[in-house]
Structure 1
Amino acid sequence: MTKTVTFAGDTHSLALGQRSLAPDATLHPLLPVLISGAPISGEQHWNYPLDIAFDYAAVDTSLFDQAPLAGLARWAPLLPPLDPMLSFGEGGTPLIPLSTAATSTELPVFLKDESRNPTWSHKDRLNLCTVSTAVRSGAKGVVVASSGNHGISTAAYAARANLPCVVLTPSEISKTFLAMLKAYGACPVPVETAHRWPMVRAICEQAGYHPTSNLTPFHTGHPFGPEGYKTIAYEIFLQLGRVVPGAVVVPTGYGEQLFGIAKGFRELVTLGLAPDMPRLFSVEPSARGPLHRAVQTNEPMAMVEAGETRQYSIACTASGYRGVLALEAGRGSALTVDDASVSAAQAVLGREGIWQELSSCAALAALPQVLASGLSGPIVLIGTSGGFKDPIEAEILPVVEPSFARVAEHVKANSGIDLRS
């Protein structure tokens, strides 16, 4: 009999543990969270990421008879244990049909509008899972390195958990983002990009904080985060009348959302609810595109130069192995689009009455490449965030010296949070 993993006040979960995505698929206990990926062994030079293993044989498939409404706790058996007090209406986002004038195809094309989440981006699905983990781990606070949506979402869930939150940001930050971070009670700390991940680790080790962002050069990420993204696949399946789309097109940074969506559809197949997975397409800025590079060179991960692009939410220079696995599972392709085509797509969506962040419009910009693959419909484009998230104005903040002592002083002076306590 499967032992259900529960914690005081948690929702019911059939999670079994953290599973390495290395070929050996080693299963580790659910806690402590392996925030730096699976342990390195042998001649291995980098950490494999992890995901969460579940007892699928114990899943009651009537779980999928419900309507895809807001609140991820409805999917609790297939998620890591959640703190039921943290959810505030994430998920249940609409699937919006786009006109043939917008898509230039007679195939049905939909936009899954993730800007309808509580902090107006897809990151809320991830942070319900990661901040729930911080709570049950007894963390003193949470820390994240982010230039936008991820930091805002982490700050909101940390506020609901009554945990202090430190957000390591670039020195140039949107005034909108800065206002949102401060509204949630988080402390933004401007640190040069090269020092952000090492400083996250220092705050975790010296202040007892829990990270919601990555700690490794090749992105492994938080093992619990992509589990929240699985629910996008569940919702699409139900919103289409228990039909698997022909393709799902995902604006992609480190590949966490891409991996989560792939896993969600794979679970529907495992549970006998769907015959097959959709084709999956990642979309990155052509000025960077590390996942595209990894796929083209048949490597598990890749790093690229930081070319100039305005698609800042997906402007990554390092890829993650989870993205490669997602495309393999979904028989997919790694696509790239330039800023001009994405700007044109943003204008097209605007004429549909939909205002999306520029990076979010990469999915529509890539649609001609997707259609060239000879797919049948329906096709679902993932819209990650609302248009007001674009950095129309920026406020220049003085950079803080990248040492724990200086960062701790800055946090104490600007928010009253004591990283040394």
Structure 2
Amino acid sequence: MLLTPDSLATAQRSLGDPALDYPLLPPLTTGCPRTGTEDVAYPLELDYAYDKVDTAALFAPAAARTGLERWAPLLPPLLAPGLGEGATPLVEIAPGVHVKDESRNPTWSHKDRLNRCTTSAALAVGARGIAVASSGNHGASAAAYAARAGLRCVVFAGPDLPPAVDSFLTAYGAVVLPVPWEARWPLMRQAVERYGLHPVSNLTATHTGHPYGPEGYKTVAYEIFQDVGTPAAVFVPTGYGELLYGVWKGFTELHRLGLADRVPRIHSCESAAGAPLATAIGRGVPAARVEVGATSAYSIASPVGGYRGVVALRESGGRALTLSDRQLAEARAELARNGLWAELSAAAGLAGLRSLDASELPDDGPLVCISTSSGFKDREVGRRATAPVAPEWPEVERRLRAAGLAD
């Protein structure tokens, strides 16, 4: 089923049983109906007519690579107008260590790649608007793409919604509803059912999310490949595991199409305050629920994981890394010393790499850390960090000496 001449997407396929497929529409946002249980919902992915991909044209060097249109044949039909998402820089911060800076997307996070695809799905099914449960990057991005597409957006946020993110959401005209964390998904389900909204975040007990969303994240892998070829390993900040899965699938497609000679190891980088993916891997189960402890890395502090992450780690030979706030803060400071202002959660990729000994790092290619979003999204943004200085030279000199600038 082809909705546009550009997209080669053909069907939705179950990750619970790859032999099961479904039509491309409607998107099955509650997971595979034939493999799910009360405890585990299995996500779906999209399948494509890979034999029809013109690899020479699609992966040829491009002078201007902005917007997911660049990769349209290997994406769901892009019905929603874009904002120039993608084509983010790959910055080498040390010999052989690169950072994919996703803060350069239109709403300053990787979520723009996902929401271009999910908002397109909302248009495809004729929804009047979209609904999302988020207190950060996902909500801000969903609100922007909904506004661009002429759709309403309802955001069920947490009670501690950062003021900067609240302003971001409101600027796009979103309906912002801060509620207790445990109430977000149940209330969102009711809004979807009663008001004809299209859900662009999770509805199930374990994480399935939207089947179209992670397809947008494949483009991160395509861009890395064009910049440095196949890396030895990719370190991915991980909450629900959608970005992790998308990056893995992108490299898998590159290998399937004969462009890459292998798939790199894909490592998940979670907050140790929760780490549902590491828990699932340790228990040998498809997905896990955990209690989340205190952490400032709110964007990746997830109480529930999903099967996508398990697949990405298992198939790539990656590791489930867990990180303390201290390790995240050290990585964020290292990024800042290299001119990159990252959200604490966004520094998890570099923190994951730095958590390994040199002997544990592969040497068969470059190492890539994904930095998912701007430091603007952190909770402390908006609080004044610098005290005023008296307009007198002795005080200025004292500050300069304290900063280590004295001769």
Native 8 Å contact 2:36 2:42 kept in 1: no
CA distance in 1, matches of 2:37, 2:59: 43
CA distance in 1, matches of 2:140, 2:292: 24
Partner residue, 2:2: 5
Deviation at 1:11, TM superposition (A): 5.9
Aligned residues: 379
CA distance in 1, matches of 2:60, 2:315: 26
Q: 1:48 is aligned with what amino acid?
A: Y
CA distance in 1, matches of 2:382, 2:132: 20
Q: Secondary structure at the match of 2:349?
A: helix
1:55 aligns with 2:49: yes
Structural mapping, 1:98-113, within 5 Å:
98-99=93-94, 107-113=95-101
1:176 aligns with 2:164: yes
CA distance in 1, matches of 2:66, 2:12: 27
Partner residue, 2:198: 210
Q: 2:102 is aligned with what amino acid?
A: E
Q: Which residue of 216, 222, 225 corresponds with 1:228?
A: 216
Native 8 Å contact 1:98 1:109 kept in 2: yes
Partner residue, 2:262: 276
CA distance in 1, matches of 2:143, 2:41: 27
Partner residue, 2:59: 64
Native 8 Å contact 2:16 2:35 kept in 1: no
CA distance in 2, matches of 1:75, 1:15: 12
Post-superposition Cα deviations, 1:208-231, rounded to whole Å, max 9, x if no partner, equal 000110001100110000000000
CA distance in 1, matches of 2:223, 2:18: 31
Native 8 Å contact 2:236 2:244 kept in 1: yes
Q: TM-score, normalised by structure 2?
A: 0.90
Partner residue, 1:34: 28
Partner residue, 1:375: 362
Partner residue, 1:120: 108
CA distance in 2, matches of 1:368, 1:128: 32
Deviation at 1:24, TM superposition (A): 4.6
Deviation at 1:280, TM superposition (A): 0.8
Partner residue, 1:319: 305
CA distance in 1, matches of 2:22, 2:37: 20
Q: 2:85 is aligned with what amino acid?
A: E
Q: Secondary structure at the match of 2:161?
A: strand
CA distance in 2, matches of 1:77, 1:362: 31
Partner residue, 1:339: 325
1:308 aligns with 2:294: yes
- Larger Cα Rg: Structure 1 or Structure 2? 2
Q: Which residue of 8, 15, 19 corresponds with 2:13?
A: 19
Q: TM-score, normalised by structure 1?
A: 0.87
Q: Which residue of 353, 357, 363 corresponds with 2:339?
A: 353
Native 8 Å contact 1:11 1:76 kept in 2: no
CA distance in 2, matches of 1:41, 1:297: 20
Structure 2 portions without partners, runs of 5+: 384-407
Partner residue, 2:121: 133
CA distance in 2, matches of 1:56, 1:257: 22
1:45–1:289: structure 2 CA closer, same or farther, 3 Å change rule? Answer: closer
CA distance in 2, matches of 1:171, 1:226: 27
Partner residue, 1:265: 251
Question: Root-mean-square deviation (CA), in Å?
Answer: 1.6
Native 8 Å contact 2:17 2:35 kept in 1: no
Deviation at 1:125, TM superposition (A): 0.1
Native 8 Å contact 1:287 1:338 kept in 2: yes
1:360–1:210: structure 2 CA closer, same or farther, 3 Å change rule? Answer: same
Q: 1:90 is aligned with what amino acid?
A: E
Q: Which residue of 171, 176, 187 corresponds with 1:199?
A: 187
1:126–1:11: structure 2 CA closer, same or farther, 3 Å change rule? Answer: farther
Post-superposition Cα deviations, 1:296-322, rounded to whole Å, max 9, x if no partner, equal 111111111111111111000111100
1:253–1:43: structure 2 CA closer, same or farther, 3 Å change rule? Answer: closer
1:61–1:160: structure 2 CA closer, same or farther, 3 Å change rule? Answer: same
1:42–1:218: structure 2 CA closer, same or farther, 3 Å change rule? Answer: closer
